[in-house]
C-alpha cells in the first residue's frame, strides 16, 4: 500500500515532466544537463541505435527521475524536521501565534496536494524517550496521596532516579533508536496479546448505529448495504485513497493502524496470541441461528452489489438446516479464557473439515452476525432499550459473535446494527473512521427502495452461500460448554447504561470558553466524587499518533486542581476561577500526552525492561499497582463533512463503549455530537457493591447541569 501511493505520485510527476519536455521547444532549464546526458549516451556503444529524439527522451527521463528523487528526499526530511516541533499545540485555544501560522504554511507546502493514506509515514517523527524529571513532576502532582504516602513515594522515586533508573532508561533509549516506536510493539504484546482472560467485555468494544433513525427494517437489506459499504471502504484502503487524519487540516497523524483492519484474526496461543493477517480474502463468514456460512463477495471478477449481497443474506435467513453438534455454541471459545481455546484449537481444529471451516472464519475479510434478537432505541422506554442494545453489542449471547475477528458486523432482526471490535490491532478511532464511512454511505448514498430493499436487482445465477461443515467431538463440546460458562458469568455481570445527554452540548460549553473535553472530564470527577464519596486514579485515553506507529497515552485526569474544584463544589463554594484552573491543567496534561510527554507508557516500558533484566523496582511496582477505577475515553467524530449534522442531526453515529476495566470501577465512553448532544456509555459490574451504572449516570447528568449553572450564576453576579 505504501508502494501504491509512492508509485502513483511518481508516475504523475514523471508524466508531467515528460510532457513538458516534449511539448516545449524551450529547453533552457535543462539544456545544458540534456547535452551532458546526450554526450554521455553517445559514449555508450548502443547510441548508434537510438535516434536523437530518443536520446532526448532518455535524457529527460534521467533528469526527471534524479530531480524528483532529490526533491522528494529534501521535502520529506524538511517535513520530518518540521513535524518534530509541537509548539503549535500550546497555542491558546482559538488563536494561533505567528510562528505557528508560518510553520503551518511550511508544513502545507512540504506536504504537497492531495495526500494519500500513507504519504506521510516516512515524515512522521519517532517517539522520543523522555527524561525523568518530567516523569516525576507529573507523578508528584498526584492528588490521591496523603502526606505520609507522598513522602514514601518521593523517597522511592529519588532512589529510582539515582540507582536503577538510568540503566533501564539506557536500554529504552537504545530500543527507541532502532524500533519505529519504542512502546507500541510491547504494548500490543503485553497489554493485549498476552492477556489470558476473556477478551469479550474486558478488551473488545462496540460501535452503535444511528440513534433515532433506522433506514430499513429488513435485516437482509441492512446487511446488504452495510457489507457493501464496508467493502468499498476496504477498496479505498487498499488503494490508500483514504485521507490521513490531520490536525488543523495540516498536521498528519500516523496511519499504520489501518493496515490490519481487514482479513485479520487474533489466533489464540498458549502463552501469547498472535494476529494473523491475510493479504488475500474474498469472502466473509456469517453466523445465523447456530450455523456458520461462507459468502463470496466477488462474482465475475467484481464486488457484489448491495442487492446481490442482500440476496445472499436472504438465502441464509431462509435456510432451515440444523446446526451440527457443537456448532451453535462454537464461538463461545473466543469469548472465554484464552488457554483452553488455544488447546482446543490445536486438539480439535487442526485437521480435516474442522480446520477448513475454521480457516474460512479466521481468514474471512470480517465476520457478520445475523442476530435473532431485536434491538432499538425506544423513546418510551429509553433506559431499558439502550442498555439492552449496548449489552448485546458488547457481548450478545457470548456465542454469537466471533470475538477474535478484527471486527464483527452485527445486524439485528429488525434492521438495527452495530460493530464489535477486537482491540489489539488498533484503537477505537480507526474503527470509528470505518464506521462513519459505513453510516454515511448506507441511507444516503446507497439508499433503499420504498419497500425497504437495497436498490438494484438480484442476480439470476449467483451461487448460494456455502454452509461450513463441522465435526466436533464430545470432548470438544465440553470445552465449548465450559468456555461459555466463564463468558456467561462475565457477561451477566456487566451493568451497562447509555445516556443520550441532550440538555446542552458543545455549543454552550464553548460559549463558556472551556474545552468541551475538559468540561466533561471535570464533570466526571464531580460525578464520581458524589457517587463514591472519594477520588480515584482516572484514565483518559489520548492519541499519540503524531509519532510514527503511536497508539495511546494516558491522561491522568484526576488532578489536584480538579479535586480542589470538586471539594469546593461540594461545599457550595465553587467559583468559575477554580473551574478554569482545573480545565487548564487538564488541557495541559492532554497536550503533554499528545506530544509524547506523558508518563504512563514510559513507566510501562521501564517496568518491562526491569522485568527483562530480572531487576525489581519497588518504585515501579508501586506506581503501576494502583487500579484505574475510572476509565474514560472520548470517541472523536472524525469526518464531520460526511454528516450534515445541522440539517440531519438524526443521521449521526451514537458512538460506542467498552466494558468495565476494574472490578469495582466505571468505564465511561462519550461522544460529542454536533452542538447539542453528548452520548455517554457507562459500564460497571453488578457484582461490585460500590458501583451502579444508573446511579453514576444520573450523577453525571446532575454534575453537567450543576457546572453549567455555575456559569450562569456567575454571569449574573458579574453583571450586577
Which residues lie near ligand NAG (CB under 6 A)? Answer: 217, 237-238, 262-263, 279-282, 374-376, 378, 385, 414, 474, 477-478, 481
Q: How many of the other CB atoms lie within 10 Å of CB of 716?
A: 9
Q: Which is nearer to ligand NAG, 291 or 586 (CB)?
A: 291
Question: Minimal CA–CA distance to 366: which of 273, 446, 261?
Answer: 261
Strands 291-296 and 466-467: antiparallel
Beta bridge partners of 370: 288, 411
DSSP code, position 408: E
Query: What is the C-alpha end-to-end distance of the chain, expressed in Å?
Result: 63
- Joined together, the cell numbers standing for residue 671 give 461522544
Distance CA 192, CA 566 (A): 34
Q: Which is nearer to ligand NAG, 344 or 672 (CB)?
A: 344
Question: Helix or strand or coil: residue 461?
Answer: coil
Q: Which is nearer to ligand NAG, 153 or 370 (CB)?
A: 370
Q: Which is nearer to ligand NAG, 31 or 378 (CB)?
A: 378
In this structure, are residues 333 and 505 in contact, taking their beta carbons and an 8 Å threshold? Answer: no
Active site residue 228: no
DSSP code, position 163: T
Q: How far is the CB of 455 from ligand NAG (least distance, A)?
A: 21
Q: Which is nearer to ligand NAG, 202 or 281 (CB)?
A: 281
Q: How far is the CB of 361 from ligand NAG (least distance, A)?
A: 15
Distance CA 486, CA 104 (A): 53
In this structure, are residues 209 and 418 in contact, taking their beta carbons and an 8 Å threshold? Answer: yes
Question: Helix or strand or coil: residue 275?
Answer: strand
Q: Which is nearer to ligand NAG, 260 or 601 (CB)?
A: 260
Write down how long the chain is. 720
The continuous run of DSSP H or E covering 586 comes out as: helix 576-594
Distance CA 279, CA 256 (A): 16
Q: Considering the candidates 228, 288, 324, 423, report the single residue annotated as catalytic.
A: 423
Q: What is the signed CA dihedral for 472, 477, 483, 487, rounded to 10 degrees? A: 90
Q: How far is the CB of 694 from ligand NAG (least distance, A)?
A: 20
- In DSSP notation, 418-436 reads EEEE-SSS--HHHHHHHHH
Measured over the CA atoms of residue 239, residue 245, residue 248 and residue 250, the dihedral's sign is negative
Q: How far is the CB of 201 from ligand NAG (least distance, A)?
A: 21
Q: How far is the CB of 236 from ligand NAG (least distance, A)?
A: 11
- For 327-350, b/e burial (b = at least 16 CB within 10 A) is bbbbbbbbbbbbebbbebbeebbe
- Joined together, the cell numbers standing for residue 150 give 507522598
Q: Which is nearer to ligand NAG, 254 or 526 (CB)?
A: 254
Q: Which is nearer to ligand NAG, 374 or 622 (CB)?
A: 374
Supply the residues annotated as catalytic: 423
Amino acid at each position: 500500500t505504501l508502494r501504491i501511493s509512492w508509485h502513483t505520485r511518481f508516475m504523475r510527476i514523471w508524466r508531467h515532466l515528460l510532457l513538458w519536455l516534449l511539448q516545449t521547444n524551450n529547453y533552457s532549464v535543462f539544456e545544458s544537463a540534456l547535452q551532458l546526458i546526450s554526450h554521455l549516451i553517445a559514449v555508450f556503444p548502443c547510441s548508434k541505435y537510438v535516434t536523437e529524439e530518443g536520446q532526448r527522451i532518455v535524457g529527460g527521463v534521467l533528469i526527471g527521475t534524479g530531480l524528483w528523487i532529490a526533491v522528494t528526499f529534501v521535502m520529506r526530511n524538511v517535513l520530518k524536521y518540521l513535524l518534530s516541533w509541537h509548539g503549535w499545540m500550546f497555542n491558546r485555544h482559538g488563536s494561533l501565534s505567528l510562528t505557528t501560522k508560518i510553520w503551518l504554511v511550511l508544513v502545507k507546502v512540504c506536504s504537497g496536494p492531495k495526500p494519500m493514506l500513507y504519504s506521510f509515514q516516512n515524515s512522521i517523527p519517532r517517539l522520543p524517550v523522555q527524561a525523568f524529571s518530567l516523569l516525576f513532576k507529573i507523578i508528584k502532582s498526584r492528588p490521591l496521596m496523603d502526606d505520609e504516602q507522598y513522602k514514601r513515594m518521593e523517597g522511592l522515586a529519588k532512589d529510582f532516579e539515582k540507582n536503577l533508573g538510568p540503566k533501564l532508561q539506557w536500554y529504552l533509549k537504545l530500543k527507541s533508536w532502532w524500533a519505529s516506536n519504542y512502546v507500541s510493539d510491547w504494548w500490543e504484546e503485553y497489554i493485549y496479546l498476552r492477556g489470558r482472560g476473556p477478551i469479550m467485555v474486558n478488551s473488545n468494544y462496540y460501535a452503535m448505529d444511528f440513534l433515532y433513525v433506522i433506514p430499513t427494517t429488513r435485516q437482509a437489506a441492512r446487511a446488504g448495504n452495510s457489507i457493501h459499504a464496508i467493502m468499498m471502504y476496504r477498496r479505498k484502503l487498499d488503494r490508500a485513497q483514504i485521507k490521513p487524519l490531520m490536525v488543523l487540516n495540516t498536521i498528519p497523524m500516523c496511519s499504520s493502524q489501518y493496515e490490519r483492519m481487514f482479513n485479520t484474526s487474533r489466533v489464540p496461543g498458549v502463552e501469547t496470541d498472535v494476529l494473523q493477517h491475510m493479504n488475500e480474502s474474498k469472502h466473509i463468514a456469517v453466523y445465523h441461528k447456530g450455523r456458520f456460512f461462507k459468502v463470496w463477495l466477488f462474482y465475475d471478477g467484481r464486488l457484489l452489489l448491495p442487492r446481490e449481497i442482500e440476496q445472499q443474506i436472504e438465502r441464509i435467513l431462509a435456510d432451515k438446516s440444523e446446526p451440527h453438534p457443537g456448532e451453535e455454541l462454537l464461538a463461545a471459545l473466543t469469548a472465554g479464557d484464552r488457554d483452553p481455546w488455544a488447546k482446543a484449537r490445536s486438539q480439535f481444529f487442526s485437521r480435516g473439515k474442522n480446520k477448513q471451516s475454521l480457516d474460512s472464519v479466521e481468514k474471512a475479510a470480517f465476520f457478520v452476525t445475523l442476530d435473532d434478537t431485536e434491538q432499538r432505541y425506544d423513546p418510551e422506554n429509553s433506559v431499558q432499550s439502550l442498555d439492552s442494545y449496548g449489552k448485546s453489542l458488547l457481548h450478545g449471547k457470548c456465542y454469537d459473535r466471533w470475538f477474535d475477528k478484527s471486527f464483527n458486523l452485527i445486524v439485528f432482526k429488525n434492521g438495527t446494527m452495530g460493530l464489535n471490535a477486537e482491540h489489539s490491532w488498533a484503537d477505537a478511532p480507526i474503527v470509528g473512521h470505518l464506521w462513519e464511512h459505513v453510516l454515511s454511505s448506507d441511507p444516503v448514498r446507497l439508499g433503499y427502495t420504498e419497500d425497504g430493499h437495497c436498490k438494484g436487482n438480484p442476480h439470476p445465477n449467483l451461487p448460494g452461500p456455502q454452509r461450513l461443515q463441522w465435526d466436533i467431538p464430545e470432548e470438544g463440546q465440553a470445552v465449548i460448554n465450559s468456555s461459555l460458562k466463564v463468558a456467561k458469568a462475565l457477561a451477566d455481570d456487566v451493568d451497562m447504561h447509555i445516556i443520550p445527554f441532550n440538555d446542552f452540548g458543545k455549543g454552550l460549553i464553548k460559549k463558556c470558553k472551556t474545552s468541551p473535553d475538559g468540561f466533561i472530564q471535570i464533570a466526571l470527577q464531580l460525578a464520581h466524587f458524589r457517587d463514591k464519596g472519594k477520588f480515584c486514579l482516572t484514565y483518559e485515553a489520548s492519541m499519540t499518533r503524531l509519532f510514527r506507529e503511536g497508539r495511546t497515552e494516558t491522561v491522568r485526569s484526576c488532578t489536584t486542581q480538579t479535586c480542589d474544584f470538586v471539594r469546593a463544589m461540594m461545599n457550595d463554594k465553587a467559583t468559575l476561577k477554580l473551574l478554569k484552573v482545573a480545565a487548564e491543567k487538564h488541557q495541559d496534561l492532554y497536550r503533554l500526552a499528545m506530544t509524547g510527554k506523558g508518563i504512563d507508557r514510559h513507566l510501562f516500558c521501564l517496568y518491562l525492561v526491569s522485568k527483562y533484566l530480572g531487576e525489581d523496582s519497588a518504585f515501579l511496582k508501586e506506581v503501576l499497582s494502583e487500579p484505574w477505577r475510572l476509565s474514560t475515553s472520548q470517541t472523536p467524530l472524525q469526518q464531520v463533512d460526511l454528516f450534515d449534522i445541522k440539517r440531519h442531526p438524526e443521521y449521526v453515529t451514537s458512538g460506542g463503549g467498552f466494558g468495565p476495566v476494574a472490578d469495582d470501577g466505571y468505564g465511561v465512553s462519550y461522544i460529542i455530537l454536533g452542538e447539542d448532544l453528548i452520548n455517554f456509555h457507562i459500564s460497571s459490574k453488578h457484582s461490585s457493591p460500590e458501583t451502579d451504572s444508573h446511579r453514576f449516570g444520573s450523577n453525571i447528568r446532575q454534575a453537567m447541569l450543576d457546572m453549567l449553572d455555575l456559569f450562569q450564576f456567575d454571569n449574573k453576579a458579574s453583571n450586577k
